[in-house]
Chain A
């Protein structure tokens, strides 16, 4: 599903964000990527979504070599990924419902099916009652849940989240993680980057530790 093989990423100016990182994520797997700020977690996720390209090594996502993908093929790769960011990247000029409808606008679903999917996604994250609200009216936790609803509305096979619980209180963070785990239980591979080790330790799952762009180790949180 996701396979990194000796992947390095060097940015213009010489900063090396990732150094020879090798790991893989299989179907229906939940993987936390941890490390301090600047360890390379976000860069790793961006490589999966083809937001960045590897400087060396290979990144395979659903069998596609991200480094060799043509520009016009990238949107189709991203349609099979659900992306959730720390800053949510919501659009504040439209309603909660319209934010979730956005990925469905370029899918081939008939309007009625698209509306049904959008409401189902909002229902799963507990925001159906707020569908007419503007995202600015939502709390931080609700905005993050809205970002998750938008990420899953096209039923992606892989869900990627970059610091999804940052700036949230413990209850909201737990609720967000429960949502990710619920999607993982129904077969979605989930890759979550977080610096919050206390959060990770609550789930007995695989953890990839990064420091200064290098893999420090891999193990199971306890």
Chain B
């Protein structure tokens, strides 16, 4: 539950929420530094850190050379020696050279040193499609990383969650991969409480209560799912929509509690279907709540092709729409 230190709130979009949160973190903790490509003078390609370098200086806002493996690796070293670095990978599609530093190093620092060394690191990166980003600016990466013990992953969809989870990630003593869906940056607006607060990792949020179907989602698709659920509401069909928010750790209780009510599960995610997050959720539910179910679990996910072509029909075919989601929901409610 969000702990709010002030009764006031501000309307902002997701990119503003990231920016505001980073700003406060930089102001409040001298150990915080931001590093990445074009984060300083340019202020980040989405202007998230615009003017930070003017206020906090080159020493704290570092324009790195083009070298993703070392952006993460150097941040690991900083974290091991008392700083609280926030490393940015400019687009999630660029993260692959850092794969070893994330899964082989950052995730294991505490474990392999038995706690003598720790790695309080945040890696932020914009992911996801629907922005004509083609094959190297649209990918979802959570499935590659959520598998890894020692790592934490969050993917908030709303600005208030962005702030609370980013604060929590920054405070977390372990490495956190903070995923920001780039299409939601300006598209999604909401009330964000003023003042400092955190939202615990591993806690999902029921964004719409319902009784006939549980829909689990995150990112851009969470918003499409809400839109679809709203359409069904107008048809007197009651769909519960859960915003996962946190991918590792993931909220088991929220999902199972919901299924106690609805008995049907639809998982919706933009990432490719095979081996995506939905697979783990399905397996968990099948193991622990099989006899609750009145219908097979369904997953509505990205097709199993490389994400996603530049030409508009290719992008549209890859992405699911609220209408498609509504169709899937309807079918399940009526099953």
Q: Real complex partners, A and B?
A: no
> Which A positions have Cβ atoms within 8 angstroms of B?
none
